[in-house]
Amino acid sequence: MTVSIATSSLIGIRGVPVEVEVDVTTGIPAVRIVGLPDAAVGEARERIRSAIRSSGFTWPARRITVNLAPADLRKSGGSFDLAIALGILAASGQMRIVAGPIAAIGELSLDGRVRDVPGSLPLALPLLDRDAGTVLLPRSAHQHALTHNAARRVSTLSEAVSIVEGRAVADTATSDLGRGRGDHARVNGAAVAVDLTEIRGQPTAVRALLIAATGRLPLLLEGPPGVGKSMLAQALHGALPDLDGAERDEVAAIASAGGFDGADPSRPPLRTPHHDLTVAGLIGGGPRLTPGELTWAHRGLLILDEIGEYRRDTLEALREPLERGVVDLVRAGRSVRLPGAALVVATGNPCGCGELEH
C-alpha cells in the first residue's frame, strides 16, 4: 500500500512543497529513502523507528521505501521526520487517514516528541497557501504559521496520529506577533540601548543619519577613534520606521529561516557582522546556497563597523546586490534568488592608524 503525505523543503529562505510517498511491501526488512536526501534525512530512519516504538506502535518488519518527490530537488534537515512516520503508520495499516489531505512538518525525538525545525514559517507557508488540508506543525513553531485556520500544533507523534484519525482536534494558536517587543533594538539577538535622541553633539552626522534613514541611502561615517561612529550607526536603527504588514511577514519568514524567531517582528532587523566576514557570509553561498548577512538584514540595517578591516573581495561583492536589492546565487545546475534590500552603513578610520591629520 502506498501513502502520500505533503511536506516542504527549505531552499534558501523559501519553502518548496515536497511529497513524501511511502510504500510498505513484503520482502527483506529494510528502509530505503530516495529523492536526493542528505545525511540528516538519511539518518531519519533511526529516529523514526525509535519514535514509533516509543509511541506504542509497531515497527513493520517489511520492506519500506520512502520517496521524496520531486526527485531532482536536494532535501536536507529533519523536517521530514513527522511526515515519513505518519506515512509508515498509514501504509502499514496502523493508522487510518480520516481528516482528509494531510501535511506535516517536524523533527522527531527518540521518545516520540515533535521538535521544531529552523524555518518552520517559510516551510509552512507553501502548504497553507495551496490549501493542502490539515497542516501539522510542532507546538513551538513560529506563531505566524500557527494562526492559520488549517494549522494544527502537535507535541508528540501519538497526538498527530489522533488528529489524522479524527479522534482528537489539536488546539490552534492565538496571534502573538507582538511577542518579544521591547524598547531597544536587537543586534544579532543581543539588546542594544542606543537612541538617536540621547546623542549630544555631532549635528552634521545626526543630520546625515536622518537623511539616510529617510531615503534609505548607504552611508559612510569616517573619523578618528572615539568620536562615536559605531554608536551613531547603531542609533540609526531607532530612526527607521516600523515594518508594515507585508514587510513584517517577509522579514518574519526570513528570520524564521535563520533561526532568529526571538526578534521583534514589528522592527527592521539589525545586523553587525565581524570584519573577518567572507563573501559567502555577506551575500550568501556555500554548498547549500545559504543566505548571508545582507539577506538577514533585508528591510533593515546592516552595519559594517571598521570597514577598512574588511577584505576587498568581500566589499566588492556588494556592488550589484546594493544596486538591485537582490542576490542571485548560481551554481552548477542550481540557482536561487535571495532578497537583499538592506540599508548599509559603514564606519571607518581615515587611515590604518586612525590618527591621520591628528
Average pLDDT over residues 187-197: 61
Residues 256, 218 within the same domain:
yes
Does residue 84 register a pLDDT over 60?
Answer: yes
* CA distances from residue 286 to 135, 280, 311 in whole angstroms, order as listed: 31, 6, 18
Is residue 169 included in any domain, yes or no?
no
Is residue 304 included in any domain, yes or no?
yes
Residues 120, 253 within the same domain:
no
Residues 295, 330 within the same domain:
yes
Residues 67, 211 within the same domain:
no
Is residue 178 included in any domain, yes or no?
no
Task: Give the percent of the chain with pLDDT over 70.
Answer: 90
Residues 125, 212 within the same domain:
no
Does residue 188 register a pLDDT over 80?
Answer: no
* CA distances from residue 201 to 49, 222, 308, 331, 356 in whole angstroms, order as listed: 65, 16, 25, 49, 22
* CA distances from residue 45 to 42, 51, 73, 79 in whole angstroms, order as listed: 7, 10, 20, 13
Residues 205, 133 within the same domain:
no
Task: For residue 227, give the nearest of 200, 192, 187 by alpha carbon.
Answer: 200
pTM: 0.83
Is residue 337 included in any domain, yes or no?
yes
Q: Quote the cell numbers at residue 66.
A: 520512502
Is residue 24 included in any domain, yes or no?
yes
Q: 119-133, 138-152, 246-260, 270-284: which range is least confident on average?
A: 138-152
Q: Burial letters for 122-157: b for 16+ Cβ neighbours within 10 Å, e otherwise?
A: bbbbbbbeeebebbbbbbbbbbbbbebebbbbbbbb
Does residue 74 register a pLDDT over 50?
Answer: yes
CATH no. for residue 265?
3.40.50.300
CATH no. for residue 41?
3.30.230.10
Residue 251's domain comprises 185-348
pLDDT at residue 278, rounded to an integer: 95
Is residue 299 included in any domain, yes or no?
yes
The edge-to-edge listing of strands for the beta sheet with 343-348 is: 219-222, 343-348, 301-304, 270-271
Is residue 249 included in any domain, yes or no?
yes
Residues 129, 253 within the same domain:
no
Residues 12, 148 within the same domain:
yes
Q: Which of 105, 132, 164 is the last residue of a domain?
A: 164
Is residue 176 included in any domain, yes or no?
no
Q: pLDDT digits over 206-225, tens only?
A: 999 999 999 999 999 998 88
Q: How confident is the model at residue 189 (pLDDT cuts 50, 70, 90)?
A: very low
Residues 150, 97 within the same domain:
yes
Count how many domains the chain has.
2
Residues 272, 142 within the same domain:
no
pLDDT at residue 350, rounded to an integer: 83
Contact yes or no for 45/31 (Cβ under 8 A): yes
Contact yes or no for 274/187 (Cβ under 8 A): no
Average pLDDT over residues 234-246: 91
Average pLDDT over residues 200-204: 87
Residues 136, 282 within the same domain:
no
Residues 314, 222 within the same domain:
yes
Q: How confident is the model at residue 194 (pLDDT cuts 50, 70, 90)?
A: confident
